[in-house]
Structure 1
Amino acid sequence: MSLCEHEERFLDSELEPVAPGKARFHIIPAGYEASVSYGGGTFRGPAAILAASRQLELWDGLSDPSRLGLFTHCPVDCDAETAEVLMRIEASVQAALDAAPENPPVPVLLGGEHTVTLGALRALYKRYGSFGVVQFDAHADLRERYDGTPYSHACVMRRALEMGLPLVQVGVRACSEEEVRVRTAHGVTCWDARQLAEHGLPEHILPPDFPSRVYVTFDVDGLDPAVIRATGTPVPGGLGWWDAQHMLRQAVEGRHVLGMDVVELAPDLGDIASDFAAAQLVYNMMGMVQRHAAAKGRV
């Protein structure tokens, strides 16, 4: 596994490189962009997050997740057809899991458009079998096809359902009639933005029978544009920062997090605040996994 000395590492301003087998979190940049339907630029998202991570504090406010070790992979080569890119992402996630077979690391995928999530889900499914998916997003991403392809960013959660993966959605506020029908047919648990605004945060976001093993995928447009504006399709009325943090903690508590991602950042040279917020989001998610694992005696 190449160390990619010429590439930036997550938090490389603060941390010395560690061997893959010594790192609990494996960061995998995957700047794939082919099906964005409005503003572009998500292919630059991973690099912007890595660059912004240089400004993070190691102490995330509650703990220092870097103590478990961070390893940044070479960026996935995304200059290929979608099927090939997804296989490359799958292989990178598999390599992360193989770095410590006795206690597999947590892959942390940085997108790119939301399609990249499918590569991670496939790798984890092959390793673990079924698990639950918790999606933070402005959009349901449950279309059968969009712009002529089943691998559009607008279809990624439909592909997850076809794998038999239970799904919980948080923050959605742009949804087609087709997607409403799919939600009903598959029993998708939904905490839409309007519902949260009108009734407040739920006591629990995961149903009692939700799998103990989960994957968390966070499209940054799930947050309100006041928090992160640099994304291809910013939708008003999204999650605030602290509400999102609260609901992320609910997704992690009592669960074994197999992997996670942050996707759809489309950097704007005049908006470094969005880049930093995305990097902080990635690191905070690591911290939640670290603290919960410590409480369960897994660290």
Structure 2
Amino acid sequence: MATHFLEGEISNESPEDASFHIIPVPLESSVSYGAGTASGPEAIIEASTQLELWDGKSIPAEGGIHTAEPIDCSKDISKTIDDVEDAVSYAVECEAIPFIIGGEHTVTIGALRALQQKYGRFGIVQFDAHADLRDTYEGSLYSHACVMRRASEDLKLPIFQIGVRALCSEEVEYRKEAEVLHLDARKLYLRGIPKILLPADFPEKIYITFDVDGLDPSVIRATGTPVPGGLSWHDALTLLERAVSGRKVIGADVVELAPSEGDHASDFAAAQLAYQIMGLCSPEY
């Protein structure tokens, strides 16, 4: 099995010399439907060996990519989040962009904490089928269904949600109360993609969190909670491009891949998505 992202195409760059730090986090502690997110990072790294270095506009790997050792997720969830925070802080110290590969969506919390320590206020652009704004789920504050509630309520970070199409009444009310910005899947379908996606007063620095169930199951089926009516591949890329326009990406993640035997297409799409997002971190955007 491959041990680093794009193995066979590039070497695993030293942490100090890499533009990106890939941080695998094979977390699976609060999945509520289909299982398998613990195998997501390994599947994405393995699939990345089949990627082309040219992403259609540039070669994101030119600046060097360091793949860190996977985070140990066998401990208490709070310890895992702390370890993610430490790994992201180290990437920032190395002047690299941290890129988490999950694992369930809870891993994002550690990244946000670390980046807040460095940058203070920044915005989160969330691609997802779900709002993830529940206060608790199945008795846990740190369920994958609560990650954006922790970001909003605990860290006070502004969020722009894209592609949501499954949420509960609690989340609807919290969206109103906290003024969480959103462009849901149905509105995108009916009205198309706006030329200017983020409002002018949204922070210049952004973190991109991409739950693969934000894509339609026809693109990625291997995820724990697939929901019909999601984003197409090219619409997702267009939305990403418009989100980063005029802004600076300070970190990103791709989460919630739950590999299924024989479904290489989902693994490859998740790897391609991660690499495309790296390309969007270029100053040209």
CA contact (8 A) 1:58 1:66 kept: yes
Deviation at 1:7, TM superposition (A): 6.4
- CA shift digits 1:211-266 (9 cap, x unpaired): 00110000000000000000000000000000000000111111111100000000
Amino acid at match of 2:122: F
Match of 2:104 in 1: 113
Q: 1: CA distance between counterparts of 2:246 and 2:131?
A: 25
Q: Secondary structure in 2 aligned to 1:115? A: helix
Q: How does 1:185-224 map to 2 (within 5 A)?
A: 185-224=177-216
CA contact (8 A) 2:2 2:45 kept: no
Q: Secondary structure in 1 aligned to 2:22? A: strand
Q: 1: CA distance between counterparts of 2:11 and 2:224?
A: 34
Q: Secondary structure in 2 aligned to 1:110? A: strand
Amino acid at match of 1:39: G
- Provide structure 2 residue ranges, at least 5 long, that are not aligned to the other structure: none
Q: Does 1:180 align with 2:175?
A: no
Match of 1:131 in 2: 122
Amino acid at match of 1:40: A
Identical counterparts, % of pairs? 56
CA contact (8 A) 2:216 2:227 kept: yes
Q: Secondary structure in 1 aligned to 2:79? A: helix
- How many residue pairs are counted as aligned between the two chains? 284
Residue of structure 2 aligned with 1:141, choices 124, 127, 132:
132
Q: 1: CA distance between counterparts of 2:81 and 2:169?
A: 28
Q: How does 1:1-299 map to 2 (within 5 A)?
A: 8-99=3-94, 104-162=95-153, 163-290=155-282, 293=283, 295=284
- CA shift digits 1:15-67 (9 cap, x unpaired): 02322111111100001111010000001000000000000000011110100
Q: Secondary structure in 2 aligned to 1:165? A: coil
Amino acid at match of 1:108: F
Q: 2: CA distance between counterparts of 1:79 and 1:12?
A: 26
Amino acid at match of 1:223: L
Q: 1: CA distance between counterparts of 2:180 and 2:93?
A: 32
- CA shift digits 1:147-175 (9 cap, x unpaired): 01010000000000021100000000001
CA contact (8 A) 1:7 1:74 kept: no
CA contact (8 A) 1:56 1:280 kept: yes
CA contact (8 A) 2:2 2:49 kept: no
Q: 1: CA distance between counterparts of 2:268 and 2:191?
A: 30
Amino acid at match of 1:11: L
Amino acid at match of 2:74: D
Q: 2: CA distance between counterparts of 1:259 and 1:17?
A: 19
Q: 1: CA distance between counterparts of 2:133 and 2:247?
A: 25
Q: 2: CA distance between counterparts of 1:11 and 1:67?
A: 12
Q: 2: CA distance between counterparts of 1:17 and 1:65?
A: 14
Q: 2: CA distance between counterparts of 1:188 and 1:173?
A: 15
> Segments of 4+ in structure 1 off by > 2 A?
none
CA contact (8 A) 1:214 1:259 kept: yes
Match of 1:3 in 2: none
